[in-house]
Amino acid sequence: MIATTTQIVLAFCFAVVLMTVLWFVQRRTKNAGIVDVAWAGTIGILGVFFAATSDGDDWRRVLAGTMIGLWSLRLTLYLFRRVVGHPEEGRYATLRRTWGANAEVRLFRYQRTTSRFIPWFPRKERGFIDGPISSQ
């Protein structure tokens, strides 16, 4: 198993690199909604990663990883169909209009700020994975 600190550092690096790449994609496509798709997918990928590399009961880790992965896959596919090939979602279009000439820089900062939180979401399942088995 991998130490918690190592898991979080790896997850953080993955999220930052992915969001940076997607910033370049949204610059080209003028559709920042792709970040929502990545958020949903990254939560699932990291949830499975944390479940697979944490200590705890095997069946609980498999159950948690499966549940997180399936939830994420469903949401990612839904968002992918809603975002790709469609006009930019209203909230991002509004941000782009409001921020004007600074929109690209501010979207970059926004995406970088939000990517910092991605590694923490799958960690909330840790209690389920490591918790004691009750005989009640």
Summarised one tens digit per residue, pLDDT across range 31-81 is 888 888 998 999 999 999 999 999 889 999 999 999 999 999 999 999 999
d(CA 1, CA 30): 41
Q: Name the residue type at position 49.
A: F
Q: Given pLDDT bands bounded at 50, 70 and 90, which one contains residue 117?
A: low
pLDDT of residue 15: 87
What is the arithmetic mean of pLDDT over 88-94?
Answer: 85
Q: Is the pTM of this model over 0.95?
A: no
The least confident of 41-50, 100-109, 114-123 is 114-123
Read off the pLDDT band of 114 (50, 70, 90). low
Torsion of CA 93, 73, 6, 120, to 10 degrees: 50
Taking the domains of the chain in order of start, what are their residue ranges?
4-124
